[in-house]
Structure 1
Amino acid sequence: MPATPSASDPDIPIRGSLRSRGAARVSGLTLRQISAVLPPERAWGLWTSRQIVARIMDAFGPSLAGTRVTPVDVRLADGRRVVGEWVRGSGVESSRERAIYFLHGSGFALCSPRTHRRLTAWLSRLTGLPVFCVDYRLAPKHRFPAAAIDVRAGWDWLSEDQGFDPAQVFIAGDSAGGHLAVDLLLQPDVAHPAGVALFSPLIDLTFGLSRSREELRRDPAIRAVDAAKLVGLYCAGTDLTDPRLTLDVAAGRTLPRTLIQAGGGEMLVADARRLAADVAAAGGDCTLEVWPDQVHVFQALPRLTPEAAPAMRRVAAFVADSWADSSMERAAG
């Protein structure tokens, strides 16, 4: 069953820190207002949005000291291209046994492995594992299903060309990367990983859940209507009822052991709750953590919000526990 935080949990406070609440208020007065006037359908508006997000991730992300990055650009035997980068945090060595596959977010249109490098390096350092972040094609130049195709190609490259046992790979992703991760895992011919960790996953591409959440509390970073315009660049020309866009998790495959973290101050907390309930309905083991007053993907912003560090420690512990459970299941089988 989905788990929710309680006052007895020492890592998840009842209320966000003064610093994180202050940052959310400042964001509401700045970033939210800026995103409302930047037209993503115009080249200059999209470029400006990309620059703003990149600078925020860089300014408020964790240190990159000691991080090693290895670019990847290869072709699979069937012609599919895999672009991305291996990220190894300080002290982390290469491995052919275990790895993390990371799917970055930001509306299928804004970010890249470069913008998320501080987050993937931190995840690598905390887990002691190399992280492969796929550089999937972005909208509006590349529309659905380009990103999903690239994510699948990256998974096939890891499991087939690189020789990783899928049960020895862990998948993590944020925002739209969460949607891509769930879509991948619902495919019947995809061997499941040891576990999944999703940060503020975007699931409802109609943003109906987000609009309902906005009636109770507005997101400090962006309005649902503006987020929908951004995602619309990827979905343009495709009916959102397509099963690769509207994911039927409750009636789909049982997903691997899953951790979902979301901020209590963001609109996508509604998506996180829905996804957790649907994973459980399908028979999966899902832990949901809602961190009070936190913004979207707060884990990437430890210089802005102190709660990022304990949240990431919990992710690292979840990764270790997932492998332990996977090993016991394989031994029993």
Structure 2
Amino acid sequence: MSATLPLPNEIELSPDGPIPGEAPVGPLGPAGSRGSSRARATNSYLAHVARPLMSSARASHPRITAQMIRAMRPGVNRSLTALCPVPTGTRAVEIRERFDGGEVRGEWVTGTHVAPGPIHPDQRIIYYLHGSGYVVCSPRTHRGLVARLSNRTRMSAFSLDYRLGPDHRWPTGGDDAIRGYRWLLSQGFRPDQIVIAGDSAGGHLAFDLLAANHASGTAQPGTMVLFSPLYDPTFSLAVDFQRAGKRDPIIDAVAAQRILKLYTHTADADHPRMRIRLTPDMDLPNTLIQFGGLEVMGADARTAHRALVRAGATSVLQEWPDQGHVFQMFSRLAPESRHALASAGQFINAAHPF
């Protein structure tokens, strides 16, 4: 990482180490370090873009919010795609196959730094679960982010296209994520050679997958990397964090809670696939979690980190100063995005050496 940029606040824990409380982790960088001016400008721009959606969702009846999401989704997706362009030379191959009583949809994304040629089952791969609030985004919106992660790791990535609300309801997205992982295993990929990665809602999908694998006796992926993960899909953690004084530049927690409800609908908050319980008898992957210091979902990131450690996993938590939600997407706008992806790539490559 560049010496001119603040390093993230970071702590690495093993099952034998201390479990952190609510207090902030001590910084590795200079005390009081700030993000770059470009990062702060990016936050201001994204806040301006997100404000109409957040304001409308907070004030509207759920039926109106659902109609609004359907109407705004194409424009939101186009904007995100433009803000996170795909590196030149990236290869993307669409997949749509019937499997295990359902359908696996997604795309293989291969960066320019990955050797050309077919993807073989003996290769290391990434299984990517995009964020969405469970209502927007797709592999296309995240292709630029996934391609950059592919370049950092020299791994091809399968980016899942799972079902979204309000047209589909919980737990269809989770079912798709579980089916996609088992499809990869059926193609001959070894679990220990698979890195599960995801952002935002993709984090909750990843935890759901780990619990499902444990319940079915399916081998777990070797490593996990999560960007701004959602841990509590009721969004109560984030709402409480906001009421305690956290002011996210992009996400209004109450509005986001209403948007998530379009997918979770009447799901019981204590259902084991809503509130994922990680236990010491689970074989859990070594994990890196990154989140922005400004985001209201920092409470989810810290809770996920503690849950992993209490269950016996080794977890690394990075809080990046002055960054917003899934800031890793915006590498053309802020240098911290590039540095965070470099850190994620180093973490993956240390676990899966060439």
- Given the two structures, how large is their TM-score scaled by the length of structure 1? 0.90
For residues 133-168 of structure 1, the C-alpha deviation after alignment (integer angstroms, 9 at most, x for no partner) is 1111111121111111111111011011x1001111
Please state if 1:317 is matched with 2:346.
Answer: yes
User: Any gaps of 5 or more consecutive residues in structure 1?
Assistant: 328-333
For residues 225-260 of structure 1, the C-alpha deviation after alignment (integer angstroms, 9 at most, x for no partner) is 111111111111221211101112356724210000
User: Do the aligned partners of residues 151 and 131 (structure 1) sit closer, same or farther apart at CA in structure 2, a change above 3 Å counting?
Assistant: same
Query: Contact between 1:123 and 1:312, CA under 8 Å: does it hold in 2?
Result: yes
Match of 2:112 in 1: 90
Residue 290 of structure 1: CA displacement?
Answer: 0.5
Query: Contact between 1:49 and 1:110, CA under 8 Å: does it hold in 2?
Result: no
Whichever residue aligns with residue 170 of structure 1, its letter is V
Match of 2:230 in 1: 202
User: Any gaps of 5 or more consecutive residues in structure 2?
Assistant: 1-12, 14-18
For residues 65-97 of structure 1, the C-alpha deviation after alignment (integer angstroms, 9 at most, x for no partner) is 001111101112x32211110001114233322
User: 1:263-282 alignment to 2 at 5 Å?
Assistant: 263-282=292-311
Match of 1:330 in 2: none
Whichever residue aligns with residue 202 of structure 1, its letter is L
- For 1:171, which of 196, 207, 217 is the aligned residue? 196
Quick one: percent identity of the two aligned structures? 41
Whichever residue aligns with residue 151 of structure 2, its letter is R
User: 1:279-294 alignment to 2 at 5 Å?
Assistant: 279-294=308-323
- For 2:205, which of 167, 180, 189 is the aligned residue? 180
**Alpha-carbon separation, structure 2, partners of 1:250 and 1:304:** 39
Query: Contact between 2:134 and 2:164, CA under 8 Å: does it hold in 1?
Result: yes
- For 2:43, which of 15, 21, 24 is the aligned residue? 24
Match of 1:331 in 2: none
Please state if 1:99 is matched with 2:125.
Answer: yes
Aligned length: 322
User: 1:45-194 alignment to 2 at 5 Å?
Assistant: 45-76=68-99, 78-92=100-114, 93=116, 94-97=119-122, 98-160=124-186, 162-187=187-212, 188=214, 189-194=217-222
Whichever residue aligns with residue 83 of structure 1, its letter is R
User: 1:38-49 alignment to 2 at 5 Å?
Assistant: 38=57, 41-42=63-64, 43-49=66-72
Across the aligned residues of Structure 1 and Structure 2, the Cα RMSD in angstroms comes to: 2.3
Whichever residue aligns with residue 35 of structure 2, its letter is G
Residue 62 of structure 1: CA displacement?
Answer: 4.5
Whichever residue aligns with residue 210 of structure 1, its letter is A
**Alpha-carbon separation, structure 1, partners of 2:27 and 2:209:** 35
- Given the two structures, how large is their TM-score scaled by the length of structure 2? 0.85
**Alpha-carbon separation, structure 2, partners of 1:207 and 1:226:** 10
User: Do the aligned partners of residues 180 and 229 (structure 1) sit closer, same or farther apart at CA in structure 2, a change above 3 Å counting?
Assistant: same
User: Do the aligned partners of residues 13 and 148 (structure 1) sit closer, same or farther apart at CA in structure 2, a change above 3 Å counting?
Assistant: farther
Q: Which deviates more from structure 2 when the two are superposed, residues 30-39 or residues 101-110?
A: 30-39
**Alpha-carbon separation, structure 2, partners of 1:29 and 1:91:** 35
Q: Which deviates more from structure 2 when the two are superposed, residues 57-66 or residues 216-225?
A: 57-66
User: Do the aligned partners of residues 26 and 68 (structure 1) sit closer, same or farther apart at CA in structure 2, a change above 3 Å counting?
Assistant: closer
